[in-house]
């Protein structure tokens, strides 16, 4: 049976992703590759939003994706599961780079200043570099595909024993799981590209599959909602106080126990709160769920384009830059999704939508995770 609260978590969190990237685009923290502070300020209190949401923003999506993977494997074979994940996740984040996302690569390169350095390069070289630079937010899809691939042999080796054990997880164990989450976050981190955290996101994905895919565990978690909410808010406040003004997304901050605790308890608070209060479906939520994948794939192009072409040259004031970036991120993504999802072949390359479009859309966001 479809779990509406999982769909609602995904599209709601992806709205927060858009908001995060708008603030991120004009941050004063000093993170490279974006426009940065429009007023030249060394401190912007709007940047607090990044510290509030970043630790749990992607972990909760991986947690939900792990749960969705278990639900998917109840209905199809491992081969069908991997084929579906390959089309929906790997194709858009590889083939899609050469068909559409090179445009994002062009914007990213010019935001970082690398575009001018490539002027003298041959056209083919520039195109390849733009394609690679266009990965952007698609790293999430790439990691999900890797985790989906690894899940199949793990599932075969454990023979259902680990999954049955996960169904007995009590509230104490749910809280203590923050320790292995932190320890896993110390390994599998790629240098330079800090978002590829195989250990950190991998264990959260597997915990979603083996533990939180059980309805009885979710029922226990719902009763724990006030506790995990207080823990999440406390960790969030401490994280903001201790690290505001520093690069929260990179070593050493993203490997601290406080970062892991903020990520874990924040994810549990969202999962328990949604299961308790947002397990419903209506016309609006179904539309949002249907279009959430396209929102994620396309939103950063609108945000970054406003930054590059209007805000960076100083054509618009800072408040308008934030507002237009938000509008372009949301509206641009939904328009692109509506257009590209209707173009044969291109929709397969960019969105992983094959000939059976209606079937893909019916499965919705569970397919993307």
Mean pLDDT across the stretch 38-47? 90
Question: At residue 299, does pLDDT exceed 80?
Answer: yes
Mean pLDDT across the stretch 127-131? 95
pLDDT at 1: 65
Would residue 170 be called left, alpha or beta, if left means φ above 0 and alpha means ψ between -120 and 50 degrees? beta
Q: In 3-state terms, what secondary structure has residue 189?
A: strand
pLDDT at 367: 40
pLDDT mean across residues, the chain: 94
C-alpha to C-alpha distance for 367 and 369, rounded to whole angstroms: 5
pLDDT at 356: 54
Question: At residue 117, does pLDDT exceed 80?
Answer: no
pLDDT at 137: 97
pLDDT at 39: 86
pLDDT at 119: 79
Domains of the chain: which residue ranges? 4-278
pLDDT at 2: 78
Query: Rg of the chain's alpha carbons, rounded to an integer?
Result: 20
User: Using 50, 70 and 90 to split pLDDT, how confident is the model at 369?
Assistant: low
User: Using 50, 70 and 90 to split pLDDT, how confident is the model at 118?
Assistant: confident
Mean pLDDT across the stretch 9-23? 98
Report pLDDT digits (tens) over 285-295: 999 999 999 99
**110-124, 252-266, 351-365 — which is least confidently predicted?**
351-365
List of residues 6+ apart from 176 with CB closer than 8 A: none
For the chain, give the percent of residues with pLDDT over 90. 88
**70-74, 261-265, 346-350 — which is least confidently predicted?**
70-74
pLDDT at 360: 43
Question: At residue 148, does pLDDT exceed 80?
Answer: yes
Tell me the three-class secondary structure of 158-205, residue by residue. Answer: HCCHHHHHHCCCCHHHHHHCHHHHHHHCCCCECCCCCCCEHHHHHHHH
Report pLDDT digits (tens) over 311-339: 999 999 999 999 999 999 999 999 999 99
User: Using 50, 70 and 90 to split pLDDT, how confident is the model at 255?
Assistant: very high
- DSSP designation for 121: S
Question: At residue 200, does pLDDT exceed 90?
Answer: yes
Q: Is the peptide bond before 252 cis (omega within 30 degrees of 0)?
A: yes
């Amino acid at each position: 049976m479809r779990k509406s609260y999982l769909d609602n978590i995904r599209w709601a969190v992806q709205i927060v992703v858009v908001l995060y990237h708008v603030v991120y685009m004009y941050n004063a923290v000093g993170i490279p590759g974006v426009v940065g502070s429009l007023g030249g300020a060394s401190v912007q209190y709007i940047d607090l939003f990044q510290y509030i949401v970043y630790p749990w923003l992607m972990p909760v999506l991986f947690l939900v994706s792990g749960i969705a993977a278990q639900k998917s494997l109840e209905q199809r074979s491992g081969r069908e599961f991997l084929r579906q994940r390959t089309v929906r996740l790997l194709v858009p984040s590889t083939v899609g780079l050469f068909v559409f996302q090179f445009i994002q690569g062009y914007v990213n390169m010019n935001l970082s200043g690398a575009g001018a350095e490539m002027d003298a390069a041959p056209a083919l070289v520039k195109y390849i570099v733009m394609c690679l630079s266009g990965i952007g937010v698609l790293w999430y899809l790439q990691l999900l595909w890797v985790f989906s691939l690894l899940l199949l042999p793990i599932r075969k080796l454990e023979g259902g024993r680990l999954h049955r054990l996960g169904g007995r997880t009590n509230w104490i164990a749910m809280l203590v799981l923050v320790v292995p989450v932190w320890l896993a976050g110390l390994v599998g981190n790629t240098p330079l590209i800090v978002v590829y955290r195989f250990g950190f996101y991998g264990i959260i994905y597997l915990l979603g599959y083996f533990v939180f895919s059980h309805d009885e565990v979710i029922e226990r978690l719902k009763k724990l909602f006030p506790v995990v909410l207080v823990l999440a808010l406390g960790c969030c406040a401490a994280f903001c106080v201790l690290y505001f003004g520093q690069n929260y997304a990179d070593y050493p901050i993203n490997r601290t126990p406080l970062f892991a605790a903020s990520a874990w308890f924040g994810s549990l608070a969202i999962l328990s709160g949604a299961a308790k209060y947002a397990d419903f479906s209506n016309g609006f939520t179904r539309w949002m769920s249907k279009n959430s994948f396209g929102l994620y794939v396309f939103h950063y192009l609108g945000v970054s384009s406003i930054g590059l072409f209007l805000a960076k040259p100083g054509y618009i004031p800072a408040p308008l830059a934030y507002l237009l970036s938000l509008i372009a991120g949301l509206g641009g993504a939904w328009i692109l999704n509506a257009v590209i999802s209707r173009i044969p072949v291109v929709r397969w390359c960019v969105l992983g939508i094959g000939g059976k479009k209606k079937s893909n859309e019916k499965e919705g966001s569970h397919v993307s995770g």
